[in-house]
Amino acid sequence: MSTHGPLSGIKVLDASSILAGPLAAQILGDYGADVIKIEHPSEGDAMRGHGPAKDGVPLWWSELARNKRTLGLKLSDPDGAEVFKKLVATADVVIENFRPGTLERWGIGWDTLSEIQPGLILARITGWGQEGPYSDWPGFGTLAEAVSGFAHLTGQPDGPPTLPPFGLADSICGVSAVGLITMALYHRDTNGGTGQQVDLSILEPMMLAVGPGLTVYDQLGIESTRTGNLSVNNAPRNLYRCADGAWVAVSTSATSIAERVLRVVGHPEVIDEPWFATGQGRVEHVDLLDGWVADWIQQRDADDVISAFTDASAAIARVYTPRDILDDPHLKATGMITTVKDDVLGDVVMHGVLGRLSETPGQIQFTGRPLGHDTQDCLGSLGYDADAVEDLRSRGVIA
């Protein structure tokens, strides 16, 4: 493994599955952590079956499991648990997302693991958290998107609550977990602290992302409703169709931007109205403002619309398809999309490393590997000889 990156020297055991935990481990690995992906030896991570595959290679997996050595290990088997304990003795972080109490039932709960490795950070990512009335419930991002209020707010005013067509709650949770894990590492390594547990539910970050609706309801008794693509905080803000059929997004979160937009679309006279000075005031006149913007845009092709808005320093962006993303020069230049070599697929385009550190940038060393690709090396480093490894494999403990 490379010694490159700010997390060089940190060892992470990714014993989680599907998306939130594995995404956190992916980001840690991108920034130099040595990540060992632990999967059930016969079933593997269910994420291997999510999304399209090419030549037998699951494409989402090639990104999500990048920079991870993969070990097939049955944690519920006593011998598998013993292997896990030996791995933990060499680790800094364990990420898991089993239902609360599962690791304890297998004899590898926090009390046992922290005794083996006092400096261990055990990140426990679940749907509902380790405690509380719902802690034993099955938890997935879809449920968090429902309970957080996101689905209630999403969709057209006269339509049903709407879920996102991708793993929104899981993704936000994964990124959030990285922050909590690195804070725990900082406390351990800089403040002279000990290891600790990180208890994070998929629900919590999603609730934060939805915004201040709870406070508004508590203080004003106002319950937010669906507004489609309109904003309750500022106007004009919407998706608009151009004459050539393309769609563009316009945002006016700042009053100065709203002024520029109205000048572009030929209605500067409204800028001096008292109500125009605040986002809330503009929302109260959204039909007027939104109508002017829509009328102006629908008479012009997207390139002309974007050019006019850009010249005026007004905020606009084209609604992209995957092809548009791949062709965008800015996304290429900044590394937001990159190309990585895969043993089977050859060159594979995927998302780049999250963010850019000037002195210790992250990197992608390799794409996701087949189940058990690194089992021999991982167990060999723990002192298991070839006969011991073969014995465990023959009994289905490892893959």
In a domain? residue 232: no
Query: Catalytic residue at 77?
Result: no
What CATH number is associated with residue 388?
3.40.50.10540
Does residue 159 sit in the same domain as residue 46? yes
In a domain? residue 259: yes
Structure tokens at 168: 């929104």
Give the bridge partners for 337, in sequence order.
351
Does residue 40 sit in the same domain as residue 155? yes
In a domain? residue 233: no
Does residue 136 sit in the same domain as residue 280? no
Does residue 112 sit in the same domain as residue 195? yes
Query: pLDDT 10s per residue in the chain (399 long)?
Result: 556 899 999 999 999 999 999 999 999 999 999 999 999 999 999 999 999 999 999 999 999 999 999 999 999 999 999 999 999 999 999 999 999 999 999 999 999 999 999 999 999 999 999 999 999 999 999 999 999 999 999 999 999 999 999 999 999 999 999 999 999 999 999 999 999 999 999 999 999 999 999 999 999 999 999 999 999 999 999 999 999 999 999 999 999 999 999 999 999 999 999 999 999 999 999 999 999 999 999 999 999 999 999 999 999 999 999 999 999 999 999 999 999 999 999 999 999 999 999 999 999 999 999 999 999 999 999 999 999 999 999 999 999
- Helices 386-394, 78-88: inter-axial angle, 10-degree rounding: 140
Cα(21)–Cα(23) distance, integer angstroms: 5
Does residue 313 sit in the same domain as residue 361? no
Structural domain count of the chain? 2
Does residue 54 sit in the same domain as residue 199? yes
The residue annotated as part of the active site, out of 170, 290, 342, 374, is 170
Does residue 69 sit in the same domain as residue 167? yes
* Other C-beta atoms lying within 10 Å of the C-beta of residue 137: 12
Structure tokens at 114: 């922290």
Domain housing 256 = 238-323
* Cα–Cα separations (whole angstroms), residue 98 to 9, 58, 143, 244, 363: 26, 23, 16, 50, 29
In a domain? residue 347: yes
What CATH number is associated with residue 272?
3.30.1540.10
Of 295, 323, 351, the last residue of a domain is: 323
